[in-house]
Amino acid sequence: MQWKKDDIRLATTLRERLLGLLPNNVCSSGEILMLVPCRSVHTLGMRQSLDIALLDKRMQVLRSYRKVKGIKVFGHPKATAVLERRASDAPWFRGGDTLSISAKTRRR
């Protein structure tokens, strides 16, 4: 699986992490929200199903969940980040996968 940097949006403030995907304008269809730092997420108030992946400090997927509905809480004591998106049939992470993120810098 490969995503471009524009496919992943960071949520780093407390407010952004608490709200996650609740505001409908946070992420467009197919876009992934990465909550950092984060050990757990909830689905309270979500009207749509979610795909969720919990990551450790090496960006390795600890647990992955697909098409989560209802009021649930997911967490892991070793998690340092969480990926979430509106559920889809598109490929998603599995336990053991490692996420690699790099940013291109512009030369001045």
The CATH code of the domain that includes 22 is 2.60.120.1140
CA–CA separation, 104 vs 83, rounded Å? 21
CA–CA separation, 20 vs 46, rounded Å? 10
More confident residue, 75 or 1: 75
Phi, psi for residue 18 in degrees, rounded to 5: -65, -40
User: Is residue 64 in some structural domain?
Assistant: yes
Domain that holds residue 17: 5-86
Beta-sheet pairing, 81-86 with 50-55: antiparallel
User: Is residue 25 in some structural domain?
Assistant: yes
> DSSP 3-state assignment of 4?
coil
pLDDT of residue 52: 94
Structural domains counted in the chain: 1
pLDDT band at 70 (very low <50, low <70, confident <90, very high): confident
pLDDT in tens, 7-58: 788 888 887 777 767 655 556 667 888 999 999 998 887 888 899 999 999 9
